[in-house]
Every structure is written in structure tokens, then in C-alpha cells.
Structure 1
Amino acid sequence: MSYKNIISEENNGITTITINRPKKLNALNRETIEELHEAFHDANEDTNTKVIILTGSGEKAFVAGADISEFADFDVNEGTALAAKGQELLFDFVENLPTPVIAAVNGFALGGGLELAMACHFRIASDNAKMGLPEVSLGVIPGYGGTQRLPQLVGKGLAMEMIMTASMIDANKALSYGLVNHVTKQEELLTFCQKISTKISTNSSIAISAAIRAINANFKDGVNGYNVEVNEFGKCFGTEDFEEGTTAFLEKRKADFPGN
């Protein structure tokens, strides 16, 4: 499928989705959000894809934020609908995707850009990356999950400070906060992400999907994550991947998971 604002390419089991609006610093508009939804959906349905890497084009920005010109004149109802639709279509969708998603943060990740990175399963940043949620400086708050996911990742106090001050942090501070897992040189970022993706792809995709559901369950109100873990653990025993994994272990060979 061809896109106007993104590029999606699969190679050796890794689909790389690149937000391609460099003149707008890859800012998210409604069309880009819809295209990202389609690209993630298609990659997840592609049996060849074991891992998805999300990044931005150019060397300046992952996603510099939302396209403010699209909603500057919105009223209360329109603003509420904007956040609700965006969360459902992209941010919650990515977080709950059964295929692992790695954010390769290659520059500015601000506002909706940081919210998108946080919706991914984990984040790796280049050393020039800058991250923040500056929405209160515009008279609004993060609306794509930022007030929920940032405290989960860095803790309540740091999240309060970052959101209230609207300040940016650099990649090393993001690493110390636990907001990103690794920091690399910019020219090495995608290669580093690909190496991790390759490690992931050698494991059971069925088990990884189950782990994503179990981990996410811990952050959902009214859901007992331990019960979800028990159920997902039990379901694994009925899969061909479990049979192959345990058989390979006992036979002292590398597992070749069928993915079902």
C-alpha cells in the first residue's frame, strides 16, 4: 500500500515504519494518524513481520508534536473527540498490538510525538534526541495518553514536573529516568534497533504476544494482572510453539518456532 505521509518497508522479518513529513518535523496530523493505523494493522497481519520499528525521517525529529494548525479553533466537543479518536485509532492500538513495536527516537519527540513513542513497547533514542510534553504552554494538557503513560514509565513526581514545566529533557536524562532503554549515536540507531529486533524474532511470537497482554494488564483499572498472566501462561501450553520450544530444549538444539 502506498502512503502520503509515511513509508513502510519489511526486510528479514522487521517492518520499519517511517513518518515522512520532514518539512513539518514529522508532526502528526489526522491523515498521518490514519495512515499509521493502517500501516501498523497491515504489519501486524503480515506473517513475515516479527517486529516493528517506528522512526521519523531526517535527522532532526522523531515526531515534533501534533499539527496544531488542525485543531487551534476546536471547541470542547471537538477537542474531546480529537483525543478519543486518536487514542483509539493509534496510541492505544499500538500499545496493545501483539507484534512488538520499538520506537527509534531519532530527534525531537515532543507532545504527541513523545506520546506515540510511549505507546510503543519500548524506546531507543539517538544521542541528539529531546523529549517533552509542552502542552500546558499552549493552554492544554497531553491528550493522547501522556498523563497516563509518562507516570507509568518515570514515576508520578518526575511526570508531574515534566508536564507542569513543559520542559524538554535530553536522551541521557531520559535514560536515567527510565523513559528510554538505550541511547546510541544517531548513525547507529536503526542498526541497534535491528539487532534487538533480530534477537526478539528468534523467540516465540505467540509467547511474546501473550507477554505483551499480561504486562499491559497490570496497568488497566479493574484488571488483575496476575490472573491474566496465569491464563496466558496456561494458553501457551496448547501452542505448537511451546511444543517446539520445550522439545528443542530437551534435544539441546535451537528452536524453530512455527508461530502458532
Structure 2
Amino acid sequence: MVKFSNSLVGFLNILILLLSIPVLAGGIWLSHRGSTDCEKFLQKPVIALGVFLLLVSLAGIVGACCRQSCLLWVYLLVMFVLIVLLFCFTIFAFVVTNKGVGQVVSGRGYKEYKLGDYSNWLQKRVNNNNNWRKIKSCLQDGKVCQSLQQNNETYSQFISSNLSPIQSGCCKPPSDCNFSYQSETVWIKPASTNSTDPDCDTWSNNQDVLCYDCMSCKAGVLANIKSDWKKVAVVNIVFLIFLIIVYSVGCCAFRNNRRDNSYPGWK
């Protein structure tokens, strides 16, 4: 049992070490090859994650396999902090994504989204100019709206489409604006409109502008984030259980190391 717990901790951390190599390599590649703001925005978190996984796995391997109680104690401390942070993030993700749902529009196959329907914390994040500049850069680089142009749909076909939240919020004006349809990303503003929605004035047929600065676009992004965070939270629960098991095995290995160090002649 003594050797088993140490060997198991070492084996699991070898897997983490192997995982850290492509993560770190990906971050370094982005730092040298990234040409857009979106790619540059990703490089620092990816490099930080790769370095973190590398250091933690090395501490676990050396601590378990070489019976270094000090390193194993540091490893367990980091694991404990990671478990607490992951637990808090999972609860936080469920709380901040609890509000917000797409609004059904009569005669439309897609939903439309209002920024005020989402939690205040999420609203503040997308209303921050620096944050939104980076998000908008990612949307433009991803050609989210340009992909719609390839469909060449008629108006009846377009309004029956099942648009994604981002496409619905960023690539067309809100239905309340009563714009005339020319193509998927070209709409003609009427001479007068009764709508008080500020997005009606924000819309532009310039393909680099469209509705990327609209409140509906920010709401569409939050709808997408909400869906992704819900999935991440579920995965986190599974990963959290895995970490707790690894942490428990690591605690056994730590006790074994201390006992062996206290009684060098014990077998």
C-alpha cells in the first residue's frame, strides 16, 4: 500500500506533465505567431496554465517517487487551493448564469436577446470598453457574420433560420427596428421608426461594423457564455471529484513519506 499510493501519485502527475507540454507549446506558438488581438488575448492565459501544470506535476512526481516530503507538502497545498478555487468557481458559474433567456419573436425561427436580462456582474464585464474591444475583435476575426452571407437566403428563408445567439444579436438589427431586408447582413433603415431601441441607430451596413456595438450583440455573447459556462460547470464537478481522489491518494503518500523519514530502517 505504501508503494502503491506513491506510485499512483507519480503516474497521475506524469500524465499531467505530458498534458502541460502541448499546452505550453500552444501558448508559445501564439506569442510568436499570433497576429490578431483575439490570438494575443489567449496567449498569456495559455502559457500561465502550461507553466502551472508543469510545475505542479514536477512537484508531485519528485515528491512521491523520491520521497521528498517537503515537495509533496507543497504539491498537496497547491492541490487543496485548486480544489477550493474550482469549487468556488463552479458555484459562481451557476449563480451568475442563472438569469437570462432568449426572447421568442413571433414568426421568427431565432430568438433575440436583451442585455438587461442577464446578471449585473456579466453586464459590467461586457460593458467595459477594454473587454468589449477584445471580444469584438474575436467576433470579427472569426467571421461570424460573414458566414451568413454565403447562404444567399430570401427574407422568408432568413427569418426561419435557427441563428445562434451571437448571429442573432450581432449580425442583424433587432426586429423592433422594422428594417427592410436586402441580404443577411444588409438592411435598409426606414425613414421613421417608432422603436426606442438604441440599437436601431447603432446598426451599420458597413460589414466591419454591423451590430457589433449593439446591446443585442453583447446580450448574444452573454447567452453564448451562459451556455458554455453551464457545460464547464458540469465538467468541473467531474474534475473536482477526480482532484479530491488524487488529493486523498497524495495525502496517503505524504503520510508514508513522513513515516519512512522518521523510521529510516523500517520496511
Q: TM-score, normalised by structure 1?
A: 0.23
Give the structure with the larger helix fraction. 2
Q: TM-score, normalised by structure 2?
A: 0.22
Larger radius of gyration: 2
Give the structure with the larger strand fraction. 1
Higher relative contact order (Cα pairs below 8 Å, separated by 6+ residues): 2
